[in-house]
Amino acid sequence: MTSTASSLGWIAVARLGLVQASLGAMIVLTTSTFNRVMAVELAMAASVPGALVALREVLQFLRPRWGHGSDVGGRRTPWIIGGMGVLALGVFGAGLSTAWMSTNMTAGLTAAALSYVVIGIGVGAGGTNLLALLAKQVAPARRAPAATIVWLMMFVGFIVSTITAGAVLDVPEAVAGATTAAGDSYSPERLVWVTGGVCLVAFLVSVLAVWGVETSPGPAAATARQATPKPSFLETLRDVWREDNARRFALFVFLSMFAYTMQDLILEPFAGVAFGFTVGESTRLTATQQMGAVAGMVLVGILASRSWLGGGHPSALKLWTIGGCVASALTLGGLAVGSQIPGTWSLTVNVALMGLATGGFTVAAVSSMMGLAGAGTRNREGIRMGVWGLAQAMAFATGGFVGTVAVDASRLVLTDPASAYGAVFAVEGVLFLVAAVLAARVGAPREAEAPAGAPVLSAVAERELHAG
């Protein structure tokens, strides 16, 4: 592990949080603005933007490769900047393609598919190496609050981007002139300009934020690295997968994220079916869940860094992770119980507690991930982060869909629709309990070891570290 002598300070962590905010500011346009325009203004099937987002997620199988590239090169910053640049080009291309669909649907869809492939590459390269840099240079005691800062900054990016884009996308009626329908203020040209502006600002912010944060190796260490034989990607991937902790944590990430995303697409329908919530009330319910998640992130980020609660020690973080999984399982069990007694059960309180539990679990899991990424053989933080990022992407890509299919299947067996939803929530709770068992089986991170064939690099790096 990196010594605390080269650990990032809070200002540097906040700067990397700005990179995450910039990433979130761009990526949210694909799931909100472009999704809305395709489904409403262009009257396309909802599955079309869904398929494009799924295409983006499929490209996350390349995350281990992007992480390995920075491991071999020894620098994360070029990969972060390059990934953010590719992401900006992809999102701008997606906005341009969406506007193009208004005049040429076939060409617009073809261009959109290509753009979402570029987005998938950019977010994978930039996001993986941002986390690898944090794992490499954040001291153990600071990992929980650092993870909180970075994840909260992503929410800030979501909020700033959507509010700004929403404020300037609508064309004032006095300027709009002739529109396709009464009250329709959509302008493809304005969509392109707004998307371009968001991408340009986000990219520039990310470059300025990350520039100079990464600790540079000395010239002797750089020379030794270049002289050291570089293992192939597949060889390194096999070695990482043979590591018990890396493999178990990947399974834990997949199962926990799968259980978490299963409720994404069924929570609001459940509120309407079982509790009679209106569309507006169910939308506010989702906002309540997100506010609970933010509160959970902040709470665990603060508590997990306190010395009397473990001070960021790996064993303490593992307990926080297990506790978050168990708490999430209990709140999902609460939804299952509530489906049977909707008249006396407070769905809003239940969902707020679920957000609190999942938010805390997320920070604890990411903090543990940062510690495990630097354990074992040295200079493999990137590929480990890539493997776990791939596991998360697979869960995100399948969890929501499986949740909806599970509800439909349950309704074929259970006559009461509310009970069908409750049964699926109960299954999700069980999955979280299994995830807690998997988390408990992950061992404490061992001190980083030099890769075979790299004794010179290790010796030089240690000598420079102590000399500095």
Q: What is the rounded CA–CA span in Å between residue 131 and residue 229?
A: 25
User: Residue 377's pLDDT band (boundaries 50, 70, 90)?
Assistant: low
Could you tell me the pLDDT band of residue 202, with boundaries at 50, 70 and 90?
A: very high
Give the residue range(s) of CATH 1.20.1250.20 domains in the chain.
1-216, 228-468
Mean pLDDT of the chain: 83
Give residue 426's Cα distance to chain centre.
Answer: 25
pLDDT bracket for residue 225 (50, 70, 90): low
Amino acid 82: pLDDT: 96
What's the pLDDT band for 378 if we cut at 50, 70, 90? low
* Residues 6+ positions from 102 with CB-CB distance below 8 Å: 41, 42, 108, 188
Q: Which of 57-61, 105-109, 113-117, 333-337 has the lowest mean pLDDT?
A: 57-61
Count CA atoms closer than 13 A to 38's CA, side-chain side.
Answer: 28
What's the average model confidence in pLDDT over 217-245?
72
A 10 A CB-CB count for 402 gives 15
pLDDT of residue 33: 84
Tens of pLDDT, residues 274-307: 999 887 788 788 788 888 988 998 898 888 877 7
Look at 216 and 166; give whichever has higher pLDDT.
166
Token pair 């000399």 is found at 467
Say which residue, 179 or 363, is predicted with more confidence. 363
- What's the CA gap between 309 and 20, in Å, rounded? 28
Residue 377 per-residue DSSP state: B
- Reported as a pLDDT band with limits 50, 70 and 90, residue 311 is low
pLDDT confidence of residue 84: 97
User: What integer is the mean pLDDT of 310-331?
Assistant: 87
pLDDT at residue number 4: 40
Average pLDDT on 306-332 reads 86
- pLDDT for the residue 439: 93
CATH assignment, 228-468? 1.20.1250.20
Least confident window among 241-245, 309-313, 390-394: 309-313
Is the pLDDT at 6 greater than 90, yes or no?
Answer: no
Q: What is the mean pLDDT of residues 205-224?
A: 77
Confidence of residue 123 (pLDDT cuts 50, 70, 90): very high
pLDDT at 376: 64
Triad 396, 400, 401: Cα angle to 5°: 110
CATH architecture of 1-216: Up-down Bundle (1.20)
* Stronger pLDDT, 109 or 48, i.e. the higher one: 109
Q: Is residue 457 predicted with pLDDT exceeding 70? A: no
